[in-house]
Structure 1
């Protein structure tokens, strides 16, 4: 494994794990979850625009604009919004774990939409993910000294975040492989952010709140995606996916150290099943890719 690529992807996972930390502190400033999603997107858009302009990566085909706008609905309006709500309602650690139900969603949608084969390994991944979520949701309601109570709306928001995160990959595979990352976000982000506006009552923001919002967008959107795709230049996508699973683990550590969040026994069991399912599906994909290469 290329050490440089490993460090890039690990840095991205660390940055994404900080989403919950930034969000919790911004919520304490009296800013709503959806407003946080709006500013996370809008500030990141400015950074991606500067990047794309400097690299002369602004041009797109007009026929691809509807797909880019649809991607904005998925990656901003739905994904950013639902993930911030999940962090607010079920805590940093559980929201990060629910986000990683994405590989199970990918397996199902690839089977239904892209006509990819549903292997035994993929089916096992889906089953483990379902059992993991069931274990979390059927366990005791109180999640420990952090004072976070498991509620069905927050759980649903976390699953929506995982689903829309999965759509990110499905959409990219089907439509957006022709453009660099900054180009995609320059067109997708503003449309997705605008659709959040009807649901936001903008709050007064202190200088500290603005600094936190700028940090959230700079680190967890622009910075994380930039180093992640830099890492992909040195690693296979499957290797990157395995390393990225450090995100929920690091998020859980941050949540425990900073906010006192911890799972029940059922929560730990369910979380372990979900993370194991992620590792199972990405490692099986790596073996299948090597086998296909050897056959050629």
Structure 2
């Protein structure tokens, strides 16, 4: 019997869900910026570790009801896989949030999207896979974009740039680890990563963060955890049942375009000139790499 193929209406519904997913994910820029800067009535902004911790916990609670019934699928993989995933996810999300508080939101999101370049470099060692040489062109484009952003923003939040690049590295590590968890339900993987990350960050938040929040910050944190983090993952898992993975990955690249736009509209943060030059190179490299993988039949 031929495998089920999504109907055209179902496929378009999946595309719409992915666009909504990218739009919601892209809200992290303005929401984190609203939480992190100094406020006249309450002193310093919320520390990045606090934002990362609460965001993961709240997002995980949104996904948890969808994961409970499929939790038994975790038995399909050794315990070291979900543990490694949680560690990689924790480093990725903490670095991204901290980077967004220390550099332009556009820099943080674009450097996180260097993950495919890191996958290309690491897969021969980690996955024992040999990337095709022609994909090196797309890698060069992405790394060229990174170089433009770094040299163009030298001395202006360079620490934030490095932290954002680490976020991209661990996004790549997470991507490779999730490939080893294909036998686990997608919602279970998401719930484990989000809740595990939140729990793992609690000690760091207690030591270096801030536990109590004002009412305004609590509402912003709820929006960040539930609307920006949890709900999009539910939409993403639903959409992947209707849209091919490589197409889905290309559609959600919209996040990298919308994030700086919302941040500019909400808090007035302009995209640095070097990022306007380097950003498209990164997106071109990522899109080209995904397109090349799709032509080889890899999803």
TM-score normalised per structure 1: 0.87
Over 3 Å off, 4+ runs: 185-191
Residues 5, 62 of structure 1: CA spacing in aligned structure 2 closer, same or farther, 3 A cutoff?
Answer: closer
Residues 65, 3 of structure 1: CA spacing in aligned structure 2 closer, same or farther, 3 A cutoff?
Answer: same
Q: Which residue of 2 aligns with 1:133?
A: 146
Which structure 2 residue ranges, 5 or more long, are not aligned?
1-7, 40-44
Residues 140, 49 of structure 1: CA spacing in aligned structure 2 closer, same or farther, 3 A cutoff?
Answer: closer
Q: Which residue of 2 aligns with 1:144?
A: none
Q: Which residue of 2 aligns with 1:112?
A: 125
Query: How many residues are paired up?
Result: 280
- Residue 232 (structure 2) aligned to one of 200, 216, 224: 224
- Residue 257 (structure 1) aligned to one of 265, 273, 276: 265
SS in 2 for 1:273: helix
SS in 2 for 1:202: coil
Residues 261, 120 of structure 1: CA spacing in aligned structure 2 closer, same or farther, 3 A cutoff?
Answer: farther
TM-score normalised per structure 2: 0.86
Q: Which residue of 1 aligns with 2:283?
A: 275
- For the 8 Å contact 1:8–1:227, the answer to whether it is kept is yes
How far is 1:95 from its partner? 0.9
Map of 1:1-296 to 2, 5 A cutoff? Answer: 2-28=11-37, 30-53=45-68, 56-59=69-72, 60-61=74-75, 64-75=78-89, 77-141=90-154, 150-174=156-180, 176-200=181-205, 201-289=209-297
- Note the aligned Cα RMSD (angstroms): 2.2
| 1:38-95: CA deviation from partner (whole Å, max 9, x where unpaired) | 0011112222223323xx12223286322212211111x2011000011001121111
CA–CA distance in 1 between the matches of 2:165 and 2:92? 10
Q: Report the more deviating stretch, 32-41 or 249-258.
A: 249-258
